[in-house]
Structure 1
Amino acid sequence: MLELDALLGQVVPAVSAAVGAYGAGVLTRAEDEAADATVRLGQRLLNRILRRSPRPEPVVAAVTDLAEAAEDPDTVVVLRRQLRRLLTEDPGLAAELAALLPASGPSVQASGERSIAVGGANSGIVSSGDNAVNVQRR
Structure 2
Amino acid sequence: MSAEIVQLVEQAGPYLTTAVSAFGAAVLTRAEGTAADATVALGQRILQAVWRRRDEAGQAELERVVNEAADEQDESYTAAVLGRLLRRALQDDAELRAELAAMLPAQAAGSVTITASGERSIAAQHIGTAITGDGHTAPRP
Give the TM-score of the pair, scaled to structure 1: 0.68
- Cα distance in 1 between the residues matched to 2:95 and 2:82: 19
Q: Find the counterpart in structure 1 of residue 21 from structure 2.
A: 20
Q: Find the counterpart in structure 2 of residue 128 from structure 1.
A: none
Q: Find the counterpart in structure 2 of residue 99 from structure 1.
A: 102
Structure 1 residue 102, shift from structure 2 partner:
1.3
| Secondary structure of 2:107's aligned partner | coil
Residue identity matched to 1:92: E
Instruction: Give matches, 1:81-96, under 5 Å.
Output: 81-96=84-99
Indicate whether 1:11 and 2:23 are aligned: no
Change in Cα spacing, 1:83 to 1:57, as seen in structure 2 (3 Å) is farther
Change in Cα spacing, 1:64 to 1:34, as seen in structure 2 (3 Å) is closer
Instruction: Give matches, 1:49-128, under 5 Å.
Output: 49-54=50-55, 55-108=58-111
Residue identity matched to 2:36: A
- Cα distance in 1 between the residues matched to 2:32 and 2:101: 20
CA contact (8 A) 2:17 2:78 kept: no
Change in Cα spacing, 1:34 to 1:90, as seen in structure 2 (3 Å) is closer
Give the TM-score of the pair, scaled to structure 2: 0.67
- Cα distance in 1 between the residues matched to 2:8 and 2:39: 15
- Cα distance in 2 between the residues matched to 1:37 and 1:92: 23
- Cα distance in 1 between the residues matched to 2:91 and 2:25: 25
- Cα distance in 1 between the residues matched to 2:109 and 2:32: 30
**Which of the two has greater helix per residue?**
2
Structure 1 runs of 4+ aligned residues shifted over 4 Å read: none
Residues matched between the structures, number: 109
Q: Which moved more, 1:75-84 or 1:5-14?
A: 75-84
Unaligned runs of 5+ in 1: 110-138
Identical-residue share of aligned pairs (%): 44
Unaligned runs of 5+ in 2: 113-141
Q: Which moved more, 1:41-50 or 1:52-61?
A: 52-61
